[in-house]
Chain A
């Protein structure tokens, strides 16, 4: 793999993302909503005389759960299928470069664009919170929150790439991406809620089942980071704390890594063996 080539493609991909109106829309939405949360935190600290960063962080987690998968799935789904649809992929692959370089370059470029979007949102709201004096009591936990959101970005980007590698048209890929977003964000959890109530699932089973949804994993990891406990999550959270305790961060990060790597590798394999340009 030639790093110069990868970097050239990554820069191109980043450049395209910054010109992609969906990407800009999501970024603006993310910044706007996180600013809104900062404003709420400020009005809260105005009344109480101090801020409760835990609640602000909880709202940020909620916001990340909603927007980050949407953003990453959409750009990921467009990545390969979009160029294929515009026929530029065949031209690109006809250059003296390998498919691995194209894939890694695109992944890296989109990763950078999502990173920029994420740190812009977190940076601006962090700035507002800091100036207002209602920021995190432990700045590290804020950075870790950003890091976890970024990990979720990578997971969703990989899933998006997989969708993109399996479809030929960008429109279809984005449609499937949006459906997956719905599934990850709403349908999966609603289904699990229904199952938990209807089947009287034991809480350990519920906890392990919830690890199947990377959004849940991000959420639990983020709550653990901010609160140092999962008691907010009721019996299942308390069970997890008592049963796995200090191993939990490792479990969460491990699951996120698996979620980022497996679809990403599968997408590459599909792309590398694709016969359809």
Chain B
């Protein structure tokens, strides 16, 4: 469906993407995962024809560079920074982009309903909440019923509730058979949506794996902050170090470095040592 062959993008001497090759199969969901500055968004922009690049990108055989219009007509794009025409009404935005995409006008209200914006059509876009805007972006991407969805950090700007709601929506869309390529730095998003993950750092692909193995593959750590009574702090540090945790003192508590799925382990260790934990936070 989507082929990247030796995609390289340089800004001056800086290589934002360095020799990326990728083959996204129909109905597959591929995540580009990595920290900020890894080059994920640059890959998306190259795919959209917003940037010049070296190498080759094709969608269903259409060259993204020389046949940009045909290539882009196969995909719906949800950008990271939502930028709509704020003074347009929500529904009118739908009709405007439907005209640009040469989509069927009758689909506009249907898609709006699908993303749960049916009751907000008369509001100007600027009056929508962040979650609604994100759903509008998805609706606009789906207007022409394209086979491919391109999502750039789809939930980064949402709060927890809106995030899970939106992820559900994306999973539905995926279930309808869309091919998805998206960027993310959130492991739960990748785990929920992606089939395969490319792990990127400073422009390079440093690993690829099935989505469920991402955490291990990436050696991903979470920090747990444990609040402990001041007279027990030294003892707690000692116990945790003895149990093999990477730990350091932080104000009224300690910070423990753990794998994401082992966040309860330091609590167990301290309980065993009879050290009382007053509170904890996960960062």
Q: Show the binding face of A for B, using Cβ within 8 Å.
A: 4-5, 8-9, 12, 16, 19, 86-88, 90-98, 273, 275, 277
Q: Which residues of A contact B77 (CB under 8 A)?
A: 91, 94
- 6 additional A-B residue pairs with CB within 8 Å, beyond A9-B100, A93-B49, A95-B97: A5-B102, A8-B100, A91-B77, A92-B100, A94-B77, A94-B79
Output the least CB separation between A90 and chain B (Å). Answer: 6
B174 beta carbon closer than 8 Å to chain A: no
**Residues in B neighbouring A88, C-beta threshold 8 A:** 83-85
If A19-B87, A91-B79, A277-B45 touch, whether A97 touches B100 (CB-CB below 8 Å) is yes
Which chain B residues in 75-89 approach chain A with CB under 8 Å? 77, 79, 81, 83-85, 87
Q: List 13 A-B contacts (CB under 8 A).
A: A4-B99, A8-B96, A8-B100, A12-B96, A87-B79, A87-B81, A90-B50, A91-B77, A93-B48, A93-B49, A95-B72, A96-B73, A275-B51
Kindly provide the distance from the CB of B104 to the nearest chain A CB, expressed in whole angstroms.
14
Contact of A8 among B49, B69, B85, B99 (CB under 8 A): B99
Q: In whole angstroms, what is the CA distance A92 to B83 when docked?
A: 10
For the complex formed, measure the closest distance between the CB of B124 and the CB atoms of chain A, giving whole angstroms: 12
Which of chain A's residues have a CB closer than 8 A to the CB of B208?
A: none
Among A87, A90, A95, point to the contact of B100 (Cβ < 8 A): A95
A8–B99 alpha-carbon span in the complex (Å): 7
Interface status of B268 (Cβ within 8 A of chain A): no
Residues of B that sit less than 8 Å from A by CB: 45, 48-52, 68-70, 72-73, 77, 79, 81, 83-85, 87, 96-97, 99-102, 144
Q: How many A-B residue pairs have CB under 8 A?
A: 61
Query: Distance in Å from the Cβ of A8 to the closest Cβ of chain B?
Result: 5
Given that A8-B96, A87-B83, A275-B51 are contacting pairs, would A95 and B101 also be in contact in the complex, using a CB cutoff of 8 Å? yes
Question: Do A90 and B72 contact each other (CB < 8 Å), given the known contacts A4-B102, A277-B50?
Answer: no
CA distance A90 to B68 in the complex (A): 14
A277 contact set on B, CB distance < 8 A: 45, 50-51
Interface of chain B, helix or strand or loop or mixed?
Answer: loop
B residues in contact with A95, CB < 8 Å: 72, 97, 100-101
Instruction: List residues of chain B with CB within 8 A of the CB of A8.
Output: 96, 99-100
Smallest CB gap from A16: residue in B: B85
Task: Give complex CA distance A92, B49 in Å.
Answer: 11
> How many angstroms from the CA of A5 to the CA of B72 in the assembled complex?
14
Complex interface: chain B residues within 8 A of A4 (CB): 99, 102
Contact of B69 among A19, A91, A97, A273 (CB under 8 A): A97
Which residue of A5, A98, A273 contacts B68 across the interface (Cβ within 8 Å)? A98
In Å, the complex CA distance between A273 and B68 comes to 14
Chain B residue contacts of A9, Cβ below 8 A: 100
A244 to B200: give the CA distance in the assembly, Å. Answer: 69
**Using Cβ atoms and an 8 Å threshold, which residues of chain B touch A12?**
85, 96
A86 touches B48 (CB 8 A): no
Contacts of A91 in B (CB 8 A): 77, 79, 83-84
- A98 vs B64: C-alpha distance in the bound complex, in angstroms? 12
A194 to chain B, nearest CB (A): 43
* Contacting pair B100 A94 (CB below 8 A): no
For B84, give the chain A residue with the smallest CB separation. A88
CA–CA, A273 and B70, complex, Å: 19
Query: CA of A50 to CA of B114 in the docked complex: distance in angstroms?
Result: 69
Contact call B70/A96, Cβ cutoff below 8 A: yes
Complex Cα distance, B48 from A62, in Å, reads 48
Determine the residue in chain B with the shortest Cβ distance to A7: B99
The interface centre, meaning the residue of B50, B87, B97, B101 with most chain A CB atoms within 10 A of its CB, is B50
Nearest-neighbor residue (CB-CB) of B97 within chain A: A95
CA distance A53 to B99 in the complex (A): 47
Chain A contacts for B83, CB-based, 8 A: 86-88, 90-91
Complex alpha-carbon distance, A277 and B44, angstroms: 12
Cβ of A96: which chain B residues have Cβ within 8 Å of it? 69-70, 72-73, 100-102, 144
User: How close is B197's CB to chain A, nearest CB, in angstroms?
Assistant: 23
Contacts of B50 in A (CB 8 A): 90, 93-94, 277
Q: Which residues of A sit under 8 angstroms from B87, Cβ to Cβ?
A: 19
Contact of A94 among B48, B52, B84, B99 (CB under 8 A): B48
Which residue on chain A has the smallest CB distance to residue B47?
A94
Q: Judge whether B79 and A90 touch: CB under 8 Å.
A: yes
Report Cα–Cα, A222/B100, bound state, in Å. Answer: 40
Nearest Cβ on chain A to B216's Cβ, whole angstroms: 35
Residue of A nearest to B143 (CB): A95
Q: In whole angstroms, what is the CA distance A94 to B68 when docked? A: 9
| Bound Cα distance from A16 to B84, whole angstroms | 13
Bound Cα distance from A43 to B6, whole angstroms: 76
